Structure 1
Amino acid sequence: MKKLLLLTTCASFALAQQLTLGVVPQQSPLKLFNKWVKVTKYLEETTGIKVIFKTERSIPQFEKELYAGKYDISYMNPYHFTVAKKQQNYDAFTRANKNIIGILLAKDKKIDFSKENLEGKTFLFPAPNAFAATLLPKYELKEKFGFNIDKQAKVLYVNSHDSVYKGISRDIGYIGGGIIRTYNNFQAKQDKKNLHIVYKTKPYPSHPIAAHPRVDKQTVKKLQDAFINMPEDIKKTLSIKKFKITNSDEFKVIENIGVK
């Protein structure tokens, strides 16, 4: 019965030749739309498939939609992928060639990462399951410094990377989590001049673009080829220099770093 349902769904999709692209909201929906609309237009022109951009107002809401299988293809963080793979059998097919690194920022140029200095301080993160901006810093501070952020500090989740950066600049928090790409793209000059990167995590495979199993393999191959051959000006809009072919196995390393 499940196989029949999947075949019916795939057949309906093939006839429609239209799919949704869900994008994790690391920035405001408007900023993301202005970037990704160029991508969806390019994909339609290249593959003949109409691609509809979708995002949500918060990362938790995006997770809810993703884990319910609402997106045909999706750009998500590596942790999201491990869950989406288990719950909906999403399959990764491309990602940025560069690995992802989490960062911690503060107004101070240097931070003492001792328990005595950090205990009770306020940390800002975009969302509980933001991979490089939240999970990696929490994991590495516990492993390297024996400091459990969730138990020994105060945590505020502020919905986006930009909100983290603004919050640290405006003294809402002491330290905030982000990633290099969104920090480089942060446009609020008055806030940015107050920020300093005080910690970088180890590198891990970057955000995959993955397809729901209802998307047939021929369509996925067309999309994969389109991303690999994307023009430089469109990749620049996404702050990505090069896409590479990937698969779901590459992200198994995420399951071994202790984040759940």
Structure 2
Amino acid sequence: MYLHVVQGLAAAGGGVEKTLQEQSEEVRSALRIIYTTRSFPSHPVAAHPRVPKDIREKVSRALLSMNNESEGRARLKNVPVEQLIPVKYDDYAVMSSWGIEKYWQPVSGD
């Protein structure tokens, strides 16, 4: 996306700070940030409400345990993700004020 904007193939685009900082100085200096959102945890993992709670909890524990194992940390770096953290719906509730209801339907649950 960054290169498309710099090359005039797109008028604007969205990105995250981490990937912006991975761009060359030449690319970064050719871009103008027009809006910055509030920071919140990225890449949430969610389960459909029909998935039983005990299964959701087992998967959550397995994913979070990757932080504590060398093999798990190595796999996370390939994603790339430094560390998985537990989050709740409330961590993303601010998104409901962005007017994106037609794209995202919040589902309340445990």
TM-score interval, smaller chain: 0.5 to 0.7
List per-residue Cα deviations over 1:195-250 (Å, max 9, x = no partner).
11532613133231100022111211111111111121111112211111122232
When structure 1 is superposed on structure 2, of 237-246 and 200-209 the one drifting more is: 200-209
Structure 2 CA distance for aligned equivalents of residues 176 and 253 of structure 1? 21
Stretches of structure 1 that go unaligned for 5 or more consecutive residues are: 1-163, 187-191
Contact 2:3/2:27, CA 8 A, preserved across alignment: no
Give, in whole Å, the separation in 2 of the partners of 1:238 and 1:211.
20
TM-score normalized with structure 1 length: 0.31
Q: Which residue of 2 aligns with 1:224?
A: 60
Q: Give the total of aligned pairs.
A: 91
Corresponding residue number in structure 2 for 1:195: 27
- 2-structure distance, mates of 1:223, 1:243: 12
Looking at structure 2, the residues matched to 237 and 184 of structure 1 have their Cα atoms a distance apart, in angstroms, of 18
Provide the TM-score with structure 2 as the length reference.
Answer: 0.64
Q: Which runs of 4+ in 1 moved over 6 A?
A: none
For 2:55 and 2:21, locate their aligned partners in 1 and report how far apart those are by CA, in whole Å: 33
Q: Is the radius of gyration larger for structure 1 or structure 2?
A: 1
Distance change >3 Å, CA 185–CA 209, structure 1 → 2: farther
Deviations, residues 33-92 of structure 1 (Å, cap 9, x unaligned): xxxxxxxxxxxxxxxxxxxxxxxxxxxxxxxxxxxxxxxxxxxxxxxxxxxxxxxxxxxx
- Structure 1 residue corresponding to 2:87, chosen from 246, 249, 258: 246
Aligned residue in 1 for 2:9: 172
Please tell me the root mean square deviation across aligned C-alpha atoms, in Å: 2.5
1:27 aligned residue: none
User: Residue 99 of structure 2 corresponds to which residue in structure 1?
Assistant: 259
Q: How does 1:18-167 map to 2 (within 5 A)?
A: 164-167=1-4
Distance in 1 (alpha carbons) for counterparts of 2:83 and 2:6 = 32
- Local SS of the residue matching 2:32: strand
Q: Quick one: percent identity of the two aligned structures?
A: 25
CA distance in 2, matches of 1:234, 1:215: 25
Aligned partner of 2:48 in structure 1 is 212
Gaps of 5+ in 2: 67-71, 101-110
Distance 1:179 1:171 in 2: 20
**Is the 2:40–2:91 Cα contact (8 Å) retained in structure 1?**
no
SS of 1:208's partner is: coil
Cα distance in 2, alignment partners of residues 181 and 169 from structure 1: 18
Higher RCO structure (Cα 8 Å, ≥6 apart): 1
Mapped to 1, the partners of 2:80 and 2:18 lie a distance apart of 7
Whole-Å Cα distance in 2 between the matches of residues 234 and 222 of structure 1?
19
